[in-house]
């Protein structure tokens, strides 16, 4: 069986605000993520992993930050667009594993709903989507709560 693997990584800095959106889930927080879109680092990392699996470039190429269409955009639309691109080319998502790195907000209560949201947009079962959360033990920019980072790995198979 033909399998292709991709990796994705994304970071957004904190700014003033009252919530973050991660994995398509709005989470109350005392800061927001600075971005052209909704700043959903988890979805952006997953999109890059999926695009990477098929060597289709990166999220910036498909959804240019200067493009007014994506200003304040719900990143779920990007994930659905990437899924459609894969489908057009004869591929489907096999599984995704992702990790979000931040000290706060605490993500554990939200992980299951994030998995469901991502799975729905990628048209797979939630069992094919893993979302993990970790801190960086107060080290580095995530440890200083200057921003949130996310990494993802995805595998895709022929439809």
Q: Which stretch binds Mg ion (CB under 5 A): 8-16, 86-94, 119-127, 132-140?
A: 8-16
| 20/96 Cα distance (integer angstroms) | 22
The encoded tokens of residue 14 equal: 């904190």
β-pairing, 4-16 vs 147-158, is: antiparallel
Smallest distance, Mg ion to C-beta of residue 137, A:
24
Residues near Mg ion (CB under 5 A), total:
2
Does the protein bind Mg ion through residue 76 (CB under 5 A)? no
Using DSSP's 3-state secondary structure scheme, residue 118 falls into: helix
The helix (H) or strand (E) run that includes residue 4 is strand 4-16
Does the protein bind Mg ion through residue 121 (CB under 5 A)? no
Closest to 10 (Cα-Cα) out of 39, 45, 36? 45
- Which of 8, 10, 147, 151 forms a contact with Mg ion (CB under 5 A)? 10
Question: What DSSP string runs through 40-76?
Answer: -HHHHHHHHHHHHHTT---HHHHS-TT-GGGTT--HH
**DSSP E strands: which ranges in 102-143?**
129-134
Query: Which is closer to Mg ion, CB of 5 or CB of 34?
Result: 34
Smallest distance, Mg ion to C-beta of residue 44, A:
4
Does the protein bind Mg ion through residue 38 (CB under 5 A)? no
| 147/22 Cα distance (integer angstroms) | 13
Does the protein bind Mg ion through residue 44 (CB under 5 A)? yes
Q: Which stretch binds Mg ion (CB under 5 A): 38-46, 97-105, 110-118, 137-145?
A: 38-46
Residue of closest CB approach to Mg ion: 44
Q: Which stretch binds Mg ion (CB under 5 A): 10-18, 50-58, 61-69, 132-140?
A: 10-18
Q: Which stretch binds Mg ion (CB under 5 A): 3-11, 14-22, 49-57, 87-95?
A: 3-11
Interacting residue ranges for Mg ion, rule: CB under 5 A: 10, 44
């Amino acid at each position: 069986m033909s399998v292709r693997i991709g990796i994705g990584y994304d970071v957004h800095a904190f700014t003033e605000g009252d919530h973050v959106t991660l994995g398509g889930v709005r989470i109350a927080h005392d800061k927001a993520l600075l971005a052209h879109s909704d700043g959903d680092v988890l979805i952006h990392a997953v999109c890059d992993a999926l695009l990477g699996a098929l060597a289709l470039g990166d999220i910036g190429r498909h959804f240019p930050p200067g493009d007014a269409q994506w200003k304040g955009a719900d990143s779920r639309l990007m994930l659905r667009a990437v899924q459609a691109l894969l489908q057009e080319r004869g591929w489907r998502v096999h599984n995704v594993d992702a990790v979000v790195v931040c000290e706060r907000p605490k993500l554990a209560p939200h992980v299951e709903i994030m998995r469901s949201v991502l799975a729905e947009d990628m048209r797979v079962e939630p069992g094919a989507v893993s979302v993990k959360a970790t801190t960086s033990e107060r080290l580095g920019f995530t440890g200083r709560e200057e921003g949130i980072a996310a990494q993802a790995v995805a595998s895709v198979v022929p439809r």
